[in-house]
Amino acid sequence: MTGSEVSTPADPATPLPVQAVVLVGGQGTRLRPLTLSTPKPMLPTAGLPFLQHLLSRIRSAGITDVILSTSYKASVFEEYFGDGSKLGLSIQYVTESEPLGTGGGIRNVYDSIKHDTVMVFNGDVLSGCDLGAVLRTHEENDADVTLHLVRVGDPRAYGSVPTDDEGRVTAFIEKTQDPPTDQINAGTYVFDKSIIEQIPADTAVSVERQVFPTLLRNGNRVYGYVDATYWRDMGTPEDFVRGSADLVRGIAPSPALSGHRGESLVHEGAGVAPGALLIGGTVVGRGAEIGARARLDGAVVFDGAVIEAGAVVERSIVGFGARIGPRALIRDGVIADGADIGARCELLRGARVWPGVEIPDGGIRYSTDV
């Protein structure tokens, strides 16, 4: 890239000459069955579709021009965000009829790009990264691509991305038990527009596994911006529950949330009976009902769900309109929309209940008492 076009300090009043592309076309298989009805970036987190937290962060960094790269359940995004004006954004939608993967999804928006600098976001990342600093790093290095690399405590679960003394990426290393660095790809990139044009058109490609390694092999200038900020990929139920709780408690940053943040967040029209305990960043959606003496710890309760008296819900998601019966126990589980869990059932350790499924009273237990 040329010149100092993005060197302006981030000031929300002065839009940067940078376009944001947010990849939101994935099927979200790891979050099934919740994603059967709602695409992952639209799942409610701390009362808002997850994507709204990301879009607010983009807007706060001074970027107003956004392209949503959609595929799976594409219409849901436009119905909710429209032209983006309510968020101070101008949003365009570019939809793949067949999913093209993360690299193909970036290439597919090429004709809608009007700035030379493009910031690309995975649509499921919750992070406190300073986007202006990533852009400045890109400019200072005269890079073709700059990746946000975040340092994590245990990099073994991710591919790692080492850099040299100048911050230039030296390799993309697949998941291994012995990673050479704690820097991982955080799913936010700055691209020069000319590089996007080089990605093969109308072809399914992965940006992480194919596009980046190819750029490196071809001698392109690929740099990293490294930090150790809050970072979470919301792709699994465990991460989704943690990320939501962190938003509620103010541990995860989001310009979309203002005011007091505490142990729980109860939305309009929800009813919480006396003696119910809501802790650990629990969220209760609109019109949901929580019965007497129920205990919710790090629970994500979607709109219209019912948790009956004495039930316990820990680190779990309860879908739209689902019901958890009296004295049932849900721990590390996912209960999809409209499911009905009978009294005293116990669902533990990664249990997933599909939409509308009914489990009778006492129908699943881990213990022998009833």
**# chain residues binding ligand GTP, by CB under 6 A:** 23
Residue with smaller CB distance to ligand GTP, 33 or 105:
105
| Smallest distance from ligand GTP to CB 43, Å | 11
What whole-number distance in Å separates Cα of residue 307 and Cα of residue 315? 14
Q: Tell me how far apart the alpha carbons of residues 321 and 307 are, in angstroms, rounded to a whole number.
A: 10
Could you tell me the smallest distance in angstroms from the CB atom of residue 66 to ligand GTP?
14
Residues 227 to 246 in contact with ligand GTP, rule: CB under 6 A: 235
Report the site for ligand GTP in 3-32 (rule: CB under 6 A).
23-30
One of 19, 60, 102, 127 touching ligand GTP (CB under 6 A): 102
Q: Name which position in 17, 99, 159, 355 contacts ligand GTP (CB under 6 A).
A: 99
**48: enclosing H helix or E strand:** strand 48-49
Distances (CA, A) of 359 to 335, 343, 355: 11, 9, 12
Non-local (6+) Cβ contacts of 140 within 8 A are none
The one among 33, 47, 62, 101 contacting ligand GTP by CB under 6 A: 101
**Using rule CB under 6 A, residue 37 touches ligand GTP:** no
Q: Helix, strand or coil for residue 293?
A: coil
Instruction: Give 120 or 266: the residue with its C-beta nearer to ligand GTP.
Output: 120
Using CB under 6 A as the binding rule, whether residue 69 contacts ligand GTP is answered as yes
φ, ψ of residue 193 to 5 degrees: the values are -55, -40
123 interacts with ligand GTP by CB under 6 A: yes
Least distance (Å) from ligand GTP to the CB of residue 326?
A: 33
Tell me how far, at minimum, the Cβ of 99 lies from ligand GTP, in Å.
3
370: how many CB neighbours lie within 10 A of its CB? 7
Q: What is each CA distance from 163 to 39, 146, 152, 307, 317, in whole angstroms?
A: 34, 11, 15, 49, 38
CA distance 72 to 95: 9
Kindly list the residues in this chain that would bind ligand GTP in the complex (CB under 6 A): 23-30, 40-41, 69-71, 96, 99-102, 105, 122-124, 235
